[in-house]
Structure 1
Amino acid sequence: MIQLPRLASLISAMLVACICASSAQASVTATDDSGATVSLAAPAQRVISLAPHVTELIYAAGGGAKLVGTVSYSDYPPAAMQVPRVGDNKALDLERIVALKPDLIVVWRHGNAQVELERLRELHIPLFFSEPHRLDDIALTLTRLGTLLGTSNTADAAASTFRQDIAQLRTRYTNRPPVTVFYQVWNQPLMTLNDTHMISDVITLCGGRNVFANLAPLVPTVSTEAVLAANPEAIVTASAGATTPDKPLPQFETWRAWPNLKAVARNNLFAIDGDLIDRPAPRIAQGAAQLCEDLEVARSRRPAGEE
């Protein structure tokens, strides 16, 4: 016969187990970057990512083990290289996606082709749209994904760490003497970013000023003459895996033909690893730190008496 204290203990343990099991199956809801409410009957167990930055976010939020499909260039963390591919940002293998039986698909709102998004909607699989525009949005996305994945503890911790990293940079650099910056996305045609892009937010974080912040659209095309007229103190671009290139980048060689351009005259031509600055995911804190250091170098190269 089971003694009463022991019986009470067993019943208590059973109740706790039931509550935990019930919680694991409870419905979850989050708002995505399109403003839509995404509701799941239970935390997602089979997830597909349709952008490299989304893949990074899912792993950071603690959902890597639930990732059953992703797209080309999803190469971080290294474990992501082993996840089956379902296409790229231009074309998706819908049959493969269906065969993987996802209960959640995380989409790059403006990166995935619109026609492909319409086809995805026809599958009636829950879609979460990701399109962070500000650094603070990354932490928010982590917490939202943590809710949908049932990994809130990990996601909240990652969000807190990211916020702290950005806060430290903001405290150190935001109020430093401003540096005018031309961020070069591409050289032919010559393209840059406006103020609604996250990279512009990084520039501001570092005490910089995007000289083409007020242009439209998100990635406007500009002329050489417009850059010369803006006369930026620094020119920044992304380079594959190289924060300090061993040889001059072609896009910088274009500007060396204009030795009176302030950025050229002071040798303020900076390249940052594209994976760290282009992807709106937690590693952008590393890219931001590099950019902040580069702009501090630009400040150090000013003639005496110039602020």
Structure 2
Amino acid sequence: MRVVSLVPSLTEAIARSAPGALVGATDWCTHPADLDVERIGGTKNPGLDRIVALAPDLVIANEEENRAPDLEALREAGLQVLVTEVRDVPQAFRELARVVEACGVLRPRWLDEAEKAWAALAPPSRRTTAVVPIWRRPWMVLGRDTFAGDVLSRLGVDHLYVTHEDRYPRIPLEELRAAAPDLVVLPDEPYRFTPDDGPEAFPGLPCALVSGRHLTWYGPSLAEAPRALGEALRAALR
């Protein structure tokens, strides 16, 4: 198989499951760190001619991360495109199994380990409210129907814009502060929040700086996510 991946988390999943299959990936595909394939641009602006020139048997995409016109153009060029949709943890496992199968390899051990890690998660002893910014200038937060929102919910964190009509609404900072959440969750992607860039906007509120890979990626990182995220959330609430 010759595979091009347009989704960073799925790039990592394919690299772990089907070594040697990947021939192209986006500039944002950072895992594994030693991945040596043709870089074909960003998730929103891939170089379509470069992808076609790689003559892949399969292009892996996601309905949220990639633009429909780009995917249609690849199909019109004669390429097979598999489009995933991931809105919660169970769906992530189903889609990962589908991607691995499409790559022509057996179900990998890491996928079983990830499912076991989430199945073994104890029910939260208490619920915590949060706002979860994913961008600033302008401020944007998690809204309805998101994978990251489902991840947090399973860890006992209810984000306050889960019923918003938009999936990633723009909310003024003053409104986020006035919502008075128990916690502010600040991932390091897509915006790279750091100890010096993010927490200062929420004086008096505990802030959990978390790995965006653990919060938003669906792939091998799912096996580590319950522990890593749980530790970061608990540390912020102490």
Structure 1-normalised TM-score? Answer: 0.71
- For 1:50 and 1:91, locate their aligned partners in 2 and report how far apart those are by CA, in whole Å: 10
Amino acid at match of 2:73: R
Q: What is the 5 A alignment of 1:119-198? A: 119-154=73-108, 157-168=109-120, 170-171=121-122, 174-198=123-147
1:47 — aligned with what?
Answer: 3
- Select 1:250's aligned residue among 166, 191, 197: 197
- For 1:290 and 1:184, locate their aligned partners in 2 and report how far apart those are by CA, in whole Å: 19
The answer as to whether partners of 2:71 and 2:81 remain within 8 angstroms in 1 is no
The answer as to whether partners of 1:236 and 1:269 remain within 8 angstroms in 2 is yes
- Select 2:71's aligned residue among 117, 131, 150: 117
Which protein is richer in helix relative to its size? Answer: 1
Pair 1:107-2:61 in alignment: yes
Pair 1:216-2:172 in alignment: no
- For 1:227 and 1:91, locate their aligned partners in 2 and report how far apart those are by CA, in whole Å: 31
The answer as to whether partners of 1:278 and 1:284 remain within 8 angstroms in 2 is no
How far apart are residue 244 of structure 1 and its match?
11
- For 1:238 and 1:297, locate their aligned partners in 2 and report how far apart those are by CA, in whole Å: 15
How far apart are residue 215 of structure 1 and its match?
0.7
- For 2:212 and 2:201, locate their aligned partners in 1 and report how far apart those are by CA, in whole Å: 20
How far apart are residue 127 of structure 1 and its match?
0.8
Count matched residues. Answer: 236
- For 2:177 and 2:33, locate their aligned partners in 1 and report how far apart those are by CA, in whole Å: 42
Pair 1:58-2:14 in alignment: yes
How far apart are residue 140 of structure 1 and its match?
1.5
The residue matched to 1:188 in structure 2 has which SS? coil
How far apart are residue 125 of structure 1 and its match?
1.3
The answer as to whether partners of 2:188 and 2:210 remain within 8 angstroms in 1 is yes
The answer as to whether partners of 1:48 and 1:67 remain within 8 angstroms in 2 is yes
Amino acid at match of 1:147: E
When residues 207 and 250 of structure 1 are mapped into structure 2, their CA distance, relative to the original with a 3 A threshold, is same
Q: Deviations over 1:162-201 (max 9, x none)?
A: 1011122x22xx3311111111111221110124111111
How far apart are residue 58 of structure 1 and its match?
1.2
Pair 1:97-2:37 in alignment: no
The answer as to whether partners of 2:11 and 2:31 remain within 8 angstroms in 1 is yes
When residues 286 and 195 of structure 1 are mapped into structure 2, their CA distance, relative to the original with a 3 A threshold, is farther
Amino acid at match of 1:145: V
2:37 — aligned with what?
Answer: 83
Cα RMSD (Å): 2.2
How far apart are residue 285 of structure 1 and its match?
4.0
- For 1:142 and 1:55, locate their aligned partners in 2 and report how far apart those are by CA, in whole Å: 11
When residues 119 and 165 of structure 1 are mapped into structure 2, their CA distance, relative to the original with a 3 A threshold, is same
Q: Can you give the 5+ residue segments of structure 1 that lack an aligned partner in the other structure? A: 1-44, 302-307
Q: Deviations over 1:54-89 (max 9, x none)?
A: 2012123x2231111111121211332x11112211
1:275 — aligned with what?
Answer: 213
Q: Which has the higher contact order (CA 8 A, sep 6+)?
A: 2
How far apart are residue 292 of structure 1 and its match?
1.7
- Select 2:224's aligned residue among 283, 286, 289: 286
The answer as to whether partners of 1:46 and 1:102 remain within 8 angstroms in 2 is yes
The residue matched to 2:219 in structure 1 has which SS? coil
Q: What is the 5 A alignment of 1:4-19? A: none
Pair 1:230-2:179 in alignment: yes
The answer as to whether partners of 2:144 and 2:165 remain within 8 angstroms in 1 is no
The answer as to whether partners of 1:68 and 1:83 remain within 8 angstroms in 2 is yes
The residue matched to 2:34 in structure 1 has which SS? helix
- For 2:101 and 2:209, locate their aligned partners in 1 and report how far apart those are by CA, in whole Å: 36
Q: Which has the larger radius of gyration?
A: 1
Q: Can you give the 5+ residue segments of structure 2 that lack an aligned partner in the other structure? A: none
The residue matched to 1:180 in structure 2 has which SS? strand
The residue matched to 1:53 in structure 2 has which SS? helix
